Amino acid sequence: MSADKKTTVLIVDDNASTRMLLRAIVREDERYVLVGEASNGTDAIEMALRLKPQIICLDNVMPKVSGLDVLQEVRPQLPGTVILMVTGSSDRETVQAAIQNGANGYIVKPFNAARVLAAMEHATAAMDANSKGQ
């Protein structure tokens, strides 16, 4: 990412408190700009495809459409987007399904700002390296 261009972020979580915390984390770091928030999977798909954010912070357990289903729908259409699962689902099957379906990282709730920012930095750096290597 160029130093003068902020990385765009979409937050997807049905819990308003979690969205508020993630929003505060994103807004506190000058490298990122929040472009949207969704509280369910249906809105998440629509917003992701319309806004084409560089990072999506995605919950798994949500109304209408699960985060894993959002991931399966969005990943093929936005291959360059970093998708970080930020969820309370920590069972092995869910984590493996997320990674197999293209999640770039997995953060288990509860989380702190340092962990979220480190995951965003790591995943973004990996995506940048992959795009330069092609």
- Asked if pLDDT for residue 2 goes beyond 60, the answer is no
pLDDT band per the 50, 70, 90 thresholds, residue 133: low
Contacts of 75 (CB under 8 A, 6+ apart): 83, 101, 102
pLDDT digits (tens, 9 = 90+) for 112-131: 999 999 999 988 887 777 66
* CATH of segment(s) 7-133: 3.40.50.2300
pLDDT digits (tens, 9 = 90+) for 34-51: 999 999 999 999 999 999
Number of H helices and E strands in the chain, helices first, is 5, 5
How far is CA 105 from each of CA 2, 5, 111, rounded to the nearest angstrom? 22, 23, 13
Type and span of the H or E element at 32:
strand 32-38
pLDDT digits (tens, 9 = 90+) for 57-105: 999 999 999 999 999 999 999 999 999 999 998 999 999 999 999 999 9
